[in-house]
Amino acid sequence: MANLPVMGGGELGDVGSRPPERANGAASPSRDDGIRPVPSVRARFAPGPRSIWKDVPDALWNDWHWQQRERITRLDQLEKVIHLTDEERRAVVETDAEFHMGITPYYAALMDPDDPSCPIRLQSVPTLGELTIAPADLEDPLAEERDMPVPGITHRYPDRVLFYTTHNCPVYCRHCTRKRKVSDPTTAAAKRQIEESLAYIAAHPEIRDVVISGGDPLSLSDDRLDYILGRLRAIPHIEIFRLGTRNIVTLPQRVTDDFVHMLRRHHPVFVNTHFNHPKECTAEAFEAARRLADAGCVIGNQMVLLKGVNDDPKIVKELNHKLLLMRIRPYYIYQCDLSKGISHFRTPVETGIRIIEHLRGHTSGLAVPHFVVDAPQGGGKIPVNPDYVVSHEGKRWVLRNYAGKEYEYLEP
């Protein structure tokens, strides 16, 4: 892979060597005792552009509170960043009642101002497709509300639960599976709900794994997250947490040194993130992943297959190679689910199988995630794969490899 040119914001290596920022933008004493990737690896990731914010001082741009405050939530703000089509203009207004718009300056600056098919734009700017309700669409496609013993906890599988901590996210992804409640502050988890969720987990010794989700749990303050993780860690039967967050993609400035220092107190912490396109792999995202990995977090990526964004094996391969350089393991590719108003994003299941066929054997196994359909009505993740079994009779198996050659395997 060729080195990418340096774009704005100084030398690429500077992104990691600036003094660490505190949440309010002021420098904090360095606690960075991590291992730095070699500069030639870091240099493959170009800083994101600054668009209309090119004169904003670095201290503000790198302050996640500023990025949250300056989010684009209205049409007139968006018009200043990109050239909208008439359809997009209508969609911004007409979809608001169903699912609000919210885009951080950082993520908005990644959009191509002139191309409505830009993958960043498709994921964050409303389109009229959201107003089409397909016959298969469901309000709660994964039946998460049905398996909710107390508000804020989905408990479907014996040893693990999904714990909703907030309904806020830096960017409201137009393909969100939980758009029925995400972005709606009236349904957000209040303190009492969090306490009741913690009490439920404490009362169920069969739970060993907690997926902390939302919305995006990194929308909470470090102190609030520290409190929740500390309470969970104090429960003897809890073994691991998984933080489900898209902040590394849409607001990488959120991953401060203070934040990762807090996480270190609660290990083992797994982080599942959600990159969908190589364009999202910037120097800023690289730095966020670097901080998390150096702090000992294990990071996995859950890509959603989206028409027009990543339904192409070449794009997925490039994305997965970049993720591995960022120490993020491609974990799942999800078939786009049946959430209401996102049918324009759905691809045939065959597309996912074709992508796996193009990856398996053609690149490192580390770059080949599991392709799954999260079955409607709470059926769970079902892996779907190309068929490598040509025939099977008794103890004789005929298998084909990635190049289409057939091999016989005889069982003892």
So which residues are the catalytic ones? 156-157, 160, 169, 173, 176, 178, 337, 374, 381
The contact set with ligand SF4 (CB under 6 A) reads 169, 172-173, 176, 178, 182, 214-216, 246
Closer of 176 and 359 to ligand SF4 (Cβ)? 176
Quote the least distance from Cβ 34 to ligand SF4, whole Å: 26
C-alpha–C-alpha distance, residues 45 and 42, integer Å: 6
Give the up-direction half-sphere exposure of residue 354: CA atoms within 13 A in the CB hemisphere.
Answer: 12
Closer of 178 and 344 to ligand SF4 (Cβ)? 178
Partners of 241 in beta bridges: 210, 269
Closer of 43 and 210 to ligand SF4 (Cβ)? 210
DSSP percent split of the chain into helix, strand, coil, nearest 5: 35, 20, 50
Task: Find where tokens 């709900």 sit.
Answer: 193
Closer of 273 and 351 to ligand SF4 (Cβ)? 273
Partners of 304 in beta bridges: 334
Closer of 182 and 198 to ligand SF4 (Cβ)? 182
Would you give the end-to-end CA distance of the chain in angstroms?
45
Quote the least distance from Cβ 179 to ligand SF4, whole Å: 7
Partners of 375 in beta bridges: 380
Report the Cα 152 to chain-centroid distance in Å: 20
Joined together, the tokens standing for residue 183 give 């972005």
25 vs 171, 219, 412, CA distance in Å? 21, 17, 65
Quote the least distance from Cβ 407 to ligand SF4, whole Å: 41
Handedness of CA 206, 259, 120, 125 (dihedral sign): positive
361 vs 111, 263, 358, 399, CA distance in Å? 33, 36, 8, 14
Quote the least distance from Cβ 219 to ligand SF4, whole Å: 9
Q: 3-state DSSP call for residue 381?
A: strand
Quote the least distance from Cβ 167 to ligand SF4, whole Å: 8
